[in-house]
Amino acid sequence: MNEPHPLSRIAEAVGGALHMPLGDGPVVDLLLDTRRSQVQPDTLFVALRGERHDGHRFLHELVARGVRNALVSEPPPPALHDRLNTIVVPDTLDALQRLAAWHRGHFHGPVVGITGSNGKTVVKEWLAQLLGREEHIARSPGSWNSQVGVPLSVWGLHRGHTMGIFEAGISRPGEMARLRPIIRPTIGVFTSLGPAHGENFPDEGTKAREKLELFRDAQVLVYPGDIAPLHAAVKSLGLDRHLLTRTWSREGSAFVHLLREERVEGGLRLTIGHGADDFAVQLPFDDHASVANAMTCITLLLHLGRTPAWVQERLPQLHAVAMRLELLDGVNGSLLINDAYSNDTASLAIALDHLAAHATDRERVVVLGDIHDSGEAQDVLYGRVAGLLRRAGVERLLGVGPRIAAHAALFGGRARFFPGAEDLLRGVAPEELRDAAVLVKGARSLGLERVVERWQRQVHGTVLEIDLDAVRHNLNHFRGLLRPGTGVLAMVKAFGYGSGATELARLFAYERVDMLGVAYADEGIALRQDGITLPILVMNPEPVPQEVLHRFRLEAVVYDLRSLEAAIDHARSHADAPPVHLKIDTGMHRLGFDPGHLDTVITALRRAPFLRVATVFSHLAASEDPAHDAFTREQLARFNAAADRLEAVLAGRPTRHIANSAGISRFPEAHLDLVRPGIGLHGVGHDAAETALLRPAARLRTTIAQVKAVPPGDSVGYGRRHRVQAAQRIAVLPIGYADGLFRSLGHGVGHVLVHGRRAPFTGSICMDMCMVDVTDIPCAPGDAVTVFGPGRPLEDHARDMGTIPYEALTAISQRVKRVFVHG
């Protein structure tokens, strides 16, 4: 359990002005995200301010939910004066960081600080796997390594822990100096140095020196000695003189020397030199990054006094780090949230927040396995777990394992317990999960992934993976370009650009966008039936009666006199009719009123003062293309002139919007009242520079169904269009043109990635399958294949198809399973 600190002591620690009408009391939890489902009286809300958010706006809501304490940068409204304890400081982020640094000072055990360009989270999690049986470890949940994530992570450190492991990431100079006193590592680990997050650093050496600021007060530094800019930065800062350096190397002498790497069944055998002895360990992975991460762990473990024999025993037990939660379609209409890889109270709290965000009106069910190695008394631990479940609104618990079952009395009447995963599968009929939101949470050793496999809806093996955290990042990128007060209408048309409209809509609702945009009414109806309550704008025409739009609270576009008269007729007899949106054709020549012929429209609007007009909008035709900037500005001028004329006859000023993704980035004058990001939310910018600032949200992956050798002279595929010249190995993939691969990709035009290596399409693309050349790539049936995603950008895949990213995404058929992940 987190250390309780009296509110008065916290005020002293951060140097704030304390107003305490509710009396002093312990603070256990910190709250930053007002959307979090779990709020309790011993929580301190930290009201952060940013370019696009201000936590102070939610004080009334939080007090109503039970928050008693807040760290603020301005006094609360008079109505809250006697209902809320406050600590007033000039800067709440700075105060949060100082609070975490003060809290860190109460812990006197070893703390490992990890930084680097890549591998931070994997190294942290692998160290926890390797040491978890001997040490009670506090560690960063997930990838919490930012200016906000680090203090929240360190806040979880308490006197019951025997070790802390925290990661720190930076993206600009000066940030690490703020994180150093919070983590205050006794042992430093630098994993790698590469191009990630390098846009604000002139060169690798500068970036290395900035990251090394974390270790100025450390006692030991572990790092790969073969990275020349990193090694030079260590020396230039004098770190090699005042702390103990522990390097590993492939190329020369070091504390640990990697002598050989040999491929064996199930991974690699690493031969390692340490001191006077050589020893071999088996690593259950065979990629370059895993070798580097494992060597970092081995170097630290040997420094800590673990023997080569200890390392030889533990290393083969490493398992892959699940970097994200998966959202899956389950049987009988259920929604599965798969987190069946780790289990501790910190990650449980995060997973329960995801459950609350996605459950909407579904029943909330949690499958929860035993929690091992917590270091807490079992009754205290499971009492806390019961409180977390209760505050998250969990209605049913399915416990797995003897420890949680021994504390059944803490969980109430709707809890059932099972000795193991197979017992759960035998004891719970899939029908019991109908329409529920089910979180599956437990350590990998419990085998709860079998539960997920059995309960998920079985569909086509090819998967389109959508990273919801990437979509959130991209949304915040575009929000960061807007002036305060400009709203966001997030486009989820065409099945959310092929990515799945409902889950995207839930994310956008959670992120508090203002509206959603769909193409046709049936898309909006489906969102309403899935529980989406945000205003929904139906952009395109179709013969749907106004009564249907009204019933589902869908707001229609009015673009000609026929649609205007239909809306007026309906509103005349229905005072609660949804508002409409007037579209102006400013040069796209697709839909909309001609700005030069508005007199008839104005006359009709004057006759219908009861018609509510929510927005007036238009559509930019070429905002991404600098060659047409003059035309874009001409469109904007036409639009504003037409909107001014319409506004003169409307009751109240309607919202104006015209900017799409490229318009947001390139034309600040087009932001107006509301913007409509679309493809940009999926990581595609208007040019390469902006794309580099976004995160790709979609990854299309499949698996190898079969590998076969084809002798010279034989042919591959329909029509025998590919003739084998020299002996060739081909892999057959279960994806074809019915899944969204264009036939034009065949015959080497396009390619996929197998183990990170290019495998060109061979022969013609079939309806349900395709073949790729893997002659020089070691692979086997079941191995993963990337069609587009990391290492194979969507834009490149679309270019090979002879199209644009929009079409490449929306072409992916509905039989391809969508998996939504966080992380």
Give residues with Cβ within 8 angstroms of 417, minimum separation 6.
398, 399, 400, 404, 405, 408
| Token couple for 712 | 């010279």
The H or E element that residue 86 is part of is strand 85-88
Q: Strand 816-822 relative to strand 460-467: parallel, antiparallel, unpaired?
A: parallel
Active site residue 497: no
Give residues with Cβ within 8 angstroms of 254, minimum separation 6.
225, 247, 248
- Compute φ and ψ for 549, nearest 5 degrees: -60, -40
Task: Give dist(CA 429, CA 434) in Å, integer.
Answer: 10
From the list 347, 527, 509, 531, the residue with the least C-alpha distance to 435 is 531
The amino acid that residue 577 corresponds to is A
DSSP structural state of residue 233: H
The amino acid that residue 345 corresponds to is T
- Report in angstroms the alpha-carbon separations of 456 from 126, 207, 451, 499, 631: 28, 44, 8, 18, 50
Question: Which among 441, 493, 583, 817 is annotated as catalytic?
Answer: 493
| Token couple for 697 | 């949200």
Q: Which residue has the tokens 């318009």?
A: 663
HSE of 450, CA atoms in CB hemisphere, 13 A: 11
DSSP 67-83: --EEEESSPPPGGGTTT
Task: Give dist(CA 463, CA 819) in Å, integer.
Answer: 7
| Token couple for 676 | 């409509």
Strands (E), 668-781: 674-675, 698-703, 706-710, 715-716, 722-723, 728-733, 751-754, 757-762, 770-773
Whether 772 contacts 730, CB under 8 Å: yes
| Token couple for 362 | 């579904």
Give residues with Cβ within 8 angstroms of 195, minimum separation 6.
117
Instruction: Give the bridge partners for 710, in sequence order.
Output: 728
Long-range contacts of 549-552 (CB under 8 A, 24+ apart): 549/521, 549/578, 550/574, 550/576, 550/577, 550/578, 552/521, 552/524, 552/525, 552/528
Whether 311 contacts 302, CB under 8 Å: yes
From the list 402, 464, 513, the residue with the least C-alpha distance to 786 is 464
Give residues with Cβ within 8 angstroms of 90, minimum separation 6.
73
Whether 27 contacts 6, CB under 8 Å: yes
| Token couple for 163 | 């070790």
From the list 663, 681, 682, the residue with the least C-alpha distance to 672 is 663
DSSP structural state of residue 508: H
Active site residue 718: yes
Strands (E), 32-136: 43-46, 69-72, 85-88, 111-115
Residues comprising the chain, all counted: 823
Which residues are identified as catalytic? 493, 718
